[in-house]
Structure 1
Amino acid sequence: MKHAVRLLALLALLAVYVATPARPALAAVTGTQVPVPPPPMGWASWNTFAAKINFNVIKAQADALVSSGLAAAGYKYVNIDEGWWQGTRDAAGNITVDTAEWPGGMAAIADYLHGKGLKAGIYTDAGRDGCGYYYPTGRPAAPGSGSEGHYAQDMLQFSRWGFDFVKVDWCGGSAEGLDPQSTYRAISAAVTSAAATTGRPLVLSICNWGVQSPWNWAPGMGAMWRTSTDIIYYGQTATQAMVLSNFDQGLHPAAQHTGYYNDPDMMIAGMPGLTAAQNRTHMGLWAISGAPLLIGDDLATMDATTRATLGNAEVIAVDQDPRGLQGVKVSDSQGRQVYGKVLAGSGRRAVLLLNRGTAAASMTVRWADLGLAATSASVRNLWSAQNAGSFATSYTVNVPANDAVLLTVTGTEAAATTYEAEATGNTRTGATVAACAGCSGGSKVGGIGNGGTLRFNAVAAPSAGLAVATIAYTNGDPTTRTATLQVNGQPSTVVAFPPTGSWTTAGTVSVIVPLTAGSANTLTFSNVAAWAPDLDAIEVRQLASAPAAVRVQGVQSGRCLDVDNSSTTNGVQLQLWDCNGQANQAWTVTSSKQLTVYGTKCLDAYNNGTTNGTAVVIWDCNGQANQQWNVNADGTISSAQSGLCLDASNRGTANGTKIILWACGSGTNQRWTLA
């Protein structure tokens, strides 16, 4: 291992490092891939039972989870959702429950679940009044059924009862206008304190429905965060459109890593309305995205086909892969989409080919799009459990309409670039520290100190898009440490570094990073805890992130057409922002004259507007004329409906300048380049 920096203890507290471009001697980052906590798997009560739950309902589902073999397949959590508590507290503010429905209280059901070899999950709300007050479903409205004002008390109570998982909903938080980020930060601190007191880890599920883009701030606060509204409302019939909508809204690959997961909600596989093929597609979509697998149907009445789909060991392995990354879209043409997921090990990928069209189609995945070398790779179909053979540079398969094929591909990693840190303006590498504060091993070599910052400059990318950055590090402490990663000044993310066993044992974890074309990318790690992790080097390998996508860059401003805060909400107005290669700036020009983002959202003249000043927004693609655009030779982009041009409002050039329609003219605020 080549240590990044070896500094004396006092100097380490102040050091700021930069990375030099790749050195020829560094062929690759070395070290064992460290497994990260996988996305939770289990069953949740809401989709089937709503608030009509009690000890016997949960017991019967837990028994079925075990007897079906799904618990042995990895589905361990039994999550008790809304309805278990009607907002009552004793004089000391402790939660009380109806012991006629919950004999022995909530500790008894947690004990029962543990006795079955399962884990216990429970539910509350971030506000004063929970969802059972605002949306009573199966029970009368229940005021006071939220945890606001009792965060520390309730999280400690849940942990003492024996629960392993807590879902914190947002009905009260939304109604009261609470700030999601600061609210869940306080809840996360309460969870951490409770676990420290009881010694029982408590997984936090942040359930604020994607409000204020939690993928930009939730990593490190909770293990998972909801990216959208409920996949289904109680009493509805399940549809594939529900599945696809939540899947699309859950794709934020730069946020998902090192044990933190985007959550597109509980599964509806097996519920009335979906066919066996649609259940398989649903399971495949959740697996390729590395989503939590929380079954939502009635386990006691589940048919054998659904049970086999949910229990498919090879598909579960894709979801639970110890590298912990999300699949990314690497191809998109007329509703035929290819997603690739980088798996643990060398040259291993999962691939999902999704045909959203109404006719069967031949679809191809290219090795180059997956970050693999153009040499022979073996292909396996996971649903048929058959090896398809070895193929030179790509693989083509027929995909039925509204269906998906799930594969694994094993080949050779494409060339990557390694960047290693060096100290500048400080002591050169080589100093050994006799003792260090905050590390358990007594002495170690290297480290960047409490609050230290490590920069990797001049990170190169041949084109804008996503890349896998594999980070070599050591962490000789027995606990996971964290650092904050920021790419090109964009929203930061907290990266976890699990223990590697010793200060001389190297390990690696991986993140997905959005890069701009060229060699001006910078990856900055900051807020590094005292002496751990000792970051060493990074290896960067680019993926083809939807190669048909382009960035739409303003000639006058040099900034890009951007969806504010990576929102997926219909009606969000487009703006200018520094070009960064993220998915909210990746536009695809379709053969039907649409400009799409996220695969399903279209550039849209709001409310069919045809007058100057009409807001340009994103909206679900619907084929209407207000979503059709002409990309013209003079650099303008005009509405096929109105003839008006995309315009940076008031000739603005600053971040946040709104995009509108205006009569086409000669101004450079109406000129765009697509690249």
Structure 2
Amino acid sequence: MGQAHRRSGPRRRARRAGLTTLDRQDPSAPLPAEPAAVSTNQIGVTPPPMGWASWNTFFSSIDHNVIKQQADALVSSGMAAAGCKYVDLDDGWWQGRRDANGNIVVDENLWPGGMKAIADYIHSKGLKAGIYTDAGKQGCGYYFPTTRPAAPNTGMEGHYQQDLETFQRWGFDYVKIDWCGGREEGLDQETTYKQIAAAHEAASAVTGRRLVLSFCEWGTGLPWNWATGYGDLWRTSHDVLLYKETPGLTKMYRNFDEAFQPAAQHTGYHNDPDMLMVGLNGMTAQRNRLHMSLWSIAGAPLLAGNNVATMSTETRDILTNPEVLAIDQDPRGLQGVKVAEDTRGLQVYGKVLSGTGKRAVLLFNRTGSAANITVRWADLGLTTASTSVRNAWTRSTVGSFTTGYTTSVPANDAVLLTVSGTEASATTVEDTTSATTPTFSSITASAAGTKLVDITYANGGSTARKATVQVNGQFTYVVAFPPTGSATTYRTVSVLAHLAKGTNTVKFAAVSGSTAPDIDALRIQGIPGTDGAALVGSASDRCVDIEKNTYVNATQAQLWDCGGGRNQTFTRTSRGELVVYGNKCLDADNNGTTNGTKVIIWDCTGGTNQKWTVNSNGTITSNLSGLCLDALNAGTANGTKLILWTCTGQTNQRWSLT
């Protein structure tokens, strides 16, 4: 799957000679040998935030008494000791008044001593403090008031650096930046949040403090394509719970599905499917455990939203189960991926954990009846050798099994496991150039799919350094490289990357304003359960593509240059579906059977309009209509939309699955 490069003494020395004087501790000292990338040298990265947020229970009705009570309860309940450190004040803390200099003025009847006093109190409990704002002129409470009247001017637009400096001086550690004002004003998500990130850097240069930046534009601007290195976490979907709404499975499942953008989640950057509903009215113990299982396999932030001061012992135990939290907080910092769905609604997810041969597994039954679900070790990137299985909720060892493991899973429930087995084979590719941020070309893959990439590097500084990584022509992601102790000490961090079948290029580059780490080698290993195929047009030599990694239902498929992205990788199921992202089916829009029907993506339903026949002559026909998958107007350019049309035998209707 990859091509190893032979070491070269002179070239290695030339590369080491390229170190900066900041990196070189003793330029006259002999240059040490550099190891190939090995996963046993992993370094831990910043885990997703854990804690409590005010919104799901108190909505706008928060003041110093509410926050102090919840902070106290986080400590007394044992949640803080379990790692729940953040106390986040959501919308409603501020009524929108500024002084003549534009500084925030708060109601000291609600917040005696001001906001610094409440942040100090939270810190006195050994916890961290979070606060809320909006990217626009108004916060969400202005457009959607709940328990308090609409308060104007509660957003930060026009005061980005000023407000961020204020939050830092008050002592806050975390800020959630909502998007109600931004949406109403028609602001551009990427541009706006990158402006806020730059204002944060400027504010930090003044105050010497930093905030965790939580971007909350609900996935509308596709933040997984651009937010790494700007935000620390970003919402991938709309709210999991609205005001006065009863918690339900529909939105829980939707937010879970929409959170999976695995190439974007790594090295301290996180997809965020929203706050937890665990312990809220309407949530049973079984549903609470399911909710925690879903968010943990996704490696999601875990921000409880229940009343911690009045919760039951059962709820506390669910929120603090150490083995479930360990899956979520695993120091490798990766997201789970879907690796099997042999029967519609019976799904298997696998998450690569730190160490060797370690995986978390979710067996998820989305149907209305109990059913057996099987995880195969080979789908996870493990060999079929004997593998130990442990149940995370019962905290008990199940046994050791070869090939895989099968168990019955109740309806609308899940079984969460950790397994310890033997890693399948991998390929190490070493940099033999003088570049600190090299380009690795000729990386080959036997199948398109998601791969585990361990990056060996050295960082002799005292803070994390950044570099970008890009696979083929896909989106570029910022990767954080924590200090390794010295410029000659090598460790690995991990990312998940989507490779095409055949030859791939993985390119690293320095980030403006940041000293780059010294990147030495890659270890590349398949996760075979994610493997699929590109659909390549015979006339265009371009791939069937879902624009910009969007998951929005009714998005029309198009042609685009082949890059191996997850949005170009389709799995043919035994049911005749062509599935992208693991949960979206190629679909004949509105059950269309006429020429010109759009070919779109939609949640997989099992309908005939989502079933296709791949024919020996290269055509792909809709099982509903018999019409051919067609590039509109015989187009071959990027952006050409796909439709159904009477089969003509022309090359714009012929495809290869590569």
> Same fold per TM (> 0.5)?
yes
The aligned residue for residue 500 of structure 2 is: 516
Matches within 5 A, 1:267-666: 267-333=276-342, 334-423=344-433, 448=436, 453-518=437-502, 520-527=503-510, 532-547=516-531, 549-666=532-649
Does structure 2 conserve the Cα–Cα contact (< 8 Å) formed by 1:420 and 1:536? yes
Are the equivalent residues in 2 in contact too, given 1:4–1:420 (CA < 8 A)? no
| Secondary structure of the corresponding residue to residue 530 of structure 2 | coil
| Cα shift at 1:580 | 3.4
Letter in 1 for 2:649: S
Residue in 1 that maps onto 2:174: 165
Query: Which secondary structure state, in structure 2, belongs to the residue aligned with residue 576 of structure 1?
Result: strand
Residue 619 of structure 1 and its aligned partner are, at CA, apart by: 2.3
CA distance in 2, matches of 1:32, 1:591: 40
1:263 corresponds in structure 2 to 272
Q: Aligned pair count?
A: 636
In structure 1, the residue matched to 2:26 is none
Tell whether the 8 Å contact from 2:37 to 2:492 is kept in structure 1 after alignment: no
Moved more, 275-284 or 496-505: 275-284
1:98 is aligned to 107
- Residues in 1 aligned to 2:603 and 2:422: alpha-carbon distance in whole angstroms: 38
For residues 498-521 of structure 1, what are the alpha-carbon distances to aligned partners after superposition, in whole Å with 9 as ceiling and x for unaligned? 111111211110111111112x11
How far 1:396 sits from its partner (Å)? Answer: 1.8
Which deviates more, 565-574 or 578-587? 578-587
Q: Determine if contact 2:454/2:492 at 8 Å carries over to the other structure.
A: yes
Note the C-alpha offset of 1:254. Answer: 0.6
Aligned-pair CA distance for 1:593: 4.2
Cα distance in 2 for residues equivalent to 1:131 and 1:385 = 41
Indicate if the aligned counterparts of 2:235 and 2:272 stay in contact, CA closer than 8 A.
yes
How does 1:213-232 map onto structure 2 within 5 Å? Answer: 213-232=222-241
Quote the Cα distance in structure 2 between the aligned partners of 1:422 and 1:47.
53
Task: Give the conservation status (yes or no) of the 8 Å contact 1:40–1:292.
Answer: yes
Please tell me whether the aligned partners of residues 40 and 355 of structure 2 are also in contact (alpha carbons under 8 angstroms): no
Partner of 2:654: 671
Structure 1 match to 2:31: none
Q: Which moved more, 1:70-79 or 1:623-632?
A: 623-632
Q: Secondary structure, in 3 states, of the residue corresponding to 2:190?
A: helix
Aligned-residue RMSD, C-alpha: 2.3
For residues 506-550 of structure 1, give each alpha carbon's deviation from its aligned partner in whole angstroms, at most 9, with x where no partner exists. 1110111111112x1110001256764111111111112434x44
Inter-CA distance 530–174: structure 2 relative to 1 (3 Å threshold): closer
Instruction: Note if contact 1:5-1:421 (Cα within 8 Å) is conserved in structure 2.
Output: no
Give 2:249's match in structure 1, choosing from 222, 225, 240.
240
Paired with 1:627 and 1:90, the residues of 2 have a C-alpha distance of: 58
Taking the aligned partners of 2:425 and 2:36, their CA distance within structure 1 comes to 9
Matched position secondary structure for 2:264 = coil
Shift in Å, 1:64:
1.9
In 1, distance between residues paired with 2:256 and 2:211? Answer: 26
The 1:618–1:72 alpha-carbon spacing in structure 2 relative to 1, beyond 3 Å, is same
Task: Report the equivalent of 1:149.
Answer: 158
Aligned partners of 1:11, 1:503: CA distance in 2, in Å? 10
- Once structures 1 and 2 are overlaid, which stretch shifts more, 578-587 or 215-224? 578-587
Q: Is the contact between residue 287 and residue 315 of structure 1 (CA under 8 Å) also seen in structure 2?
A: yes
Structure 2 unmatched ranges of 5 or more: 1-6, 23-33
**Cα distance, 1:98 vs. partner?**
1.2
TM-score by length of 2: 0.92
The 2-side partners of 1:374 and 1:600 are apart by: 27
Give the 3-state SS of the residue equivalent to 1:514 in structure 2.
strand
Contact conserved, 1:240 with 1:274, CA < 8 A, in 2? no
- For residue 58 of structure 1, what is the aligned residue in structure 2? 67
**Secondary structure in 1 matching 2:280:** coil
Change (3 A) 1:581 1:360: farther
- Write out per-residue CA displacement over residues 427-460 of structure 1, whole angstroms, 9 at most, x where no aligned residue: xx6xxxxxxxxxxxxxxxxx63xxxx41011112
Contact 2:40 2:356 in 1 (8 A): no
Query: What secondary structure does 2:277 align onto?
Result: coil
What TM-score, normalized to structure 1? 0.90
Distance 1:629 1:375 in 2: 36
Query: 2:195 is matched with which residue: 157, 165, 186?
Result: 186
1:271/1:631 CA distance change after superposition, 3 Å: farther
Deviation per residue, 1:145-183 (Å, 9 max, x gap) = 110110000000000011000000111111111111111
